[in-house]
């Protein structure tokens, strides 16, 4: 990663659990610093180790019911921390820091179901 840029990949999986090999092939192809994923369909009882590799730090907001869910994966060498998770909506925010302290990014993952009121 250059000190003032991030490579982002956004994916909508409609259930990543049974497509994790395809997911990681895509990540290996594009080598992003950050992956934002929607419609993960993950639940609290599914551990990160079942889906995600340890070369990324993973933050999740699961729906805990069929459908939905958001995740953000950040490469381990990038300092990052969860800023907030919205308990009412499928949203989460992560702060990532560049090598130069002047560069900080707030990365937000949001999923809104098509039939959901705003």
Domains of the chain with CATH codes:
8-111 (3.60.10.10)
Which pLDDT score, from 0 to 100, does residue 3 have? 58
61 pLDDT more than 70: yes
Q: Using CA atoms, how far apart are residues 95 and 103, in angstroms rounded to an integer?
A: 11
Would the pLDDT of 4 be above 80? no
Residue 52 has pLDDT above 80, yes or no: yes
pTM: 0.92
CA distance 51 to 45: 12
Residue 36's contacts (CB-CB under 8 Å, 6 or more residues apart) are 8, 9, 10, 11, 70, 71, 72, 107, 109
pLDDT reading at 99 higher than 80: no
| pLDDT surpasses 90 at 110 | yes
Between CA 4 and CA 105 the distance in angstroms is 10
């Amino acid at each position: 990663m250059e000190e003032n840029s991030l490579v982002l990949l956004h994916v909508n999986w409609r259930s990543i659990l049974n497509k994790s090999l395809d997911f990681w092939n895509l990540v290996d192809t594009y080598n992003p610093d950050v992956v934002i994923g929607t419609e993960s369909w993950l639940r609290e009882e599914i551990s990160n180790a079942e889906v995600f590799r340890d070369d990324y730090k993973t933050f999740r907001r699961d729906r805990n019911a069929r459908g939905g869910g958001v995740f953000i994966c950040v490469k381990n060498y990038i300092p990052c921390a969860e800023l907030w998770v919205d308990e009412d909506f499928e949203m989460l925010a992560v702060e990532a820091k560049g090598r130069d302290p002047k560069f900080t990014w707030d990365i937000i993952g949001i999923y809104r179901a098509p039939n959901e009121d705003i």
